[in-house]
Protein backbone atom coordinates (compact mmCIF):
# COMPACT_ATOMS: atom_id res chain seq x y z
CA UNK A 1 0.00 0.00 0.00
CA UNK A 2 1.30 3.39 -0.94
CA UNK A 3 1.08 6.00 1.72
CA UNK A 4 0.43 9.61 0.97
CA UNK A 5 -0.41 12.79 2.74
CA UNK A 6 -3.99 13.96 2.81
CA UNK A 7 -4.22 17.73 2.97
CA UNK A 8 -7.76 17.54 4.25
CA UNK A 9 -7.10 15.13 7.08
CA UNK A 10 -3.65 16.63 7.58
CA UNK A 11 -2.40 13.14 8.18
CA UNK A 12 -0.76 10.29 6.37
CA UNK A 13 -3.21 7.93 4.75
CA UNK A 14 -2.90 4.91 2.56
CA UNK A 15 -3.84 6.03 -0.92
CA UNK A 16 -7.00 4.31 -2.02
CA UNK A 17 -7.53 3.41 -5.66
CA UNK A 18 -3.90 4.27 -6.28
CA UNK A 19 -3.00 4.52 -9.92
CA UNK A 20 0.59 4.92 -10.97
CA UNK A 21 1.12 7.58 -13.55
CA UNK A 22 4.08 8.97 -15.38
CA UNK A 23 4.30 12.71 -15.52
CA UNK A 24 5.50 14.75 -18.46
CA UNK A 25 8.90 15.26 -16.90
CA UNK A 26 9.44 11.53 -16.68
CA UNK A 27 8.75 11.18 -13.01
CA UNK A 28 6.34 8.72 -11.61
CA UNK A 29 3.48 9.67 -9.41
CA UNK A 30 0.60 7.95 -7.72
CA UNK A 31 -2.86 9.35 -7.98
CA UNK A 32 -5.67 8.18 -5.75
CA UNK A 33 -7.97 9.29 -3.04
CA UNK A 34 -8.11 9.43 0.70
CA UNK A 35 -9.95 6.45 2.17
CA UNK A 36 -11.21 8.59 5.01
CA UNK A 37 -12.49 11.78 3.41
CA UNK A 38 -12.29 10.99 -0.27
CA UNK A 39 -10.05 13.90 -1.15
CA UNK A 40 -7.80 13.46 -4.16
CA UNK A 41 -4.30 12.46 -3.17
CA UNK A 42 -1.25 12.82 -5.29
CA UNK A 43 2.13 11.49 -4.41
CA UNK A 44 5.26 12.04 -6.44
CA UNK A 45 7.45 8.99 -6.33
CA UNK A 46 10.45 10.71 -7.85
CA UNK A 47 12.87 9.45 -10.43
CA UNK A 48 15.13 7.37 -8.22
CA UNK A 49 13.51 4.09 -9.10
CA UNK A 50 13.61 4.64 -12.82
CA UNK A 51 16.04 5.77 -15.46
CA UNK A 52 15.56 9.43 -16.24
CA UNK A 53 15.50 10.53 -19.86
CA UNK A 54 18.84 11.44 -21.37
CA UNK A 55 17.89 15.08 -21.59
CA UNK A 56 17.49 15.32 -17.85
CA UNK A 57 20.90 13.87 -17.09
CA UNK A 58 23.78 15.89 -18.49
CA UNK A 59 26.87 13.78 -18.87
CA UNK A 60 29.92 15.55 -17.44
CA UNK A 61 32.86 15.60 -19.78
CA UNK A 62 35.96 14.28 -18.04
CA UNK A 63 39.13 16.27 -18.46
CA UNK A 64 41.62 14.58 -20.77
CA UNK A 65 44.55 13.08 -18.95
CA UNK A 66 47.03 13.75 -21.74
CA UNK A 67 47.87 17.44 -22.23
CA UNK A 68 46.79 18.79 -25.57
CA UNK A 69 49.68 20.62 -27.32
CA UNK A 70 48.89 24.15 -28.27
CA UNK A 71 48.57 24.68 -32.03
CA UNK A 72 50.53 27.92 -31.71
CA UNK A 73 53.46 26.21 -30.04
CA UNK A 74 55.55 25.84 -33.19
CA UNK A 75 57.73 23.24 -31.56
CA UNK A 76 56.16 20.31 -33.28
CA UNK A 77 58.88 17.82 -34.07
CA UNK A 78 59.16 17.16 -37.77
CA UNK A 79 58.67 13.61 -38.94
CA UNK A 80 61.84 11.63 -39.34
CA UNK A 81 63.10 12.06 -42.88
CA UNK A 82 64.91 9.20 -44.55
CA UNK A 83 68.58 9.93 -45.08
CA UNK A 84 69.36 10.30 -48.76
Nearer to Zn ion, 12 or 26 (CB): 12
Q: Decide if residue 6 touches Zn ion (CB under 5 A).
A: yes
Nearer to Zn ion, 23 or 37 (CB): 37
CB of 21 to Zn ion, least distance (A): 20
Q: Residue 15's closest CA among 29, 2, 28, 25?
A: 2
Q: Decide if residue 25 touches Zn ion (CB under 5 A).
A: no
Query: Which residue from 12, 21, 23, 37 is in contact with Zn ion, where contact means CB under 5 A?
Result: 37
Buried b / exposed e along 2-29 (16+ C-beta atoms within 10 A): eebebeeeeeebebeebeeeeeeeebbe
Amino acid sequence: MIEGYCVKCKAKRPIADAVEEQMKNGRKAVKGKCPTCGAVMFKILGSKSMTPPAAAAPIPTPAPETPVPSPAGGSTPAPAEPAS
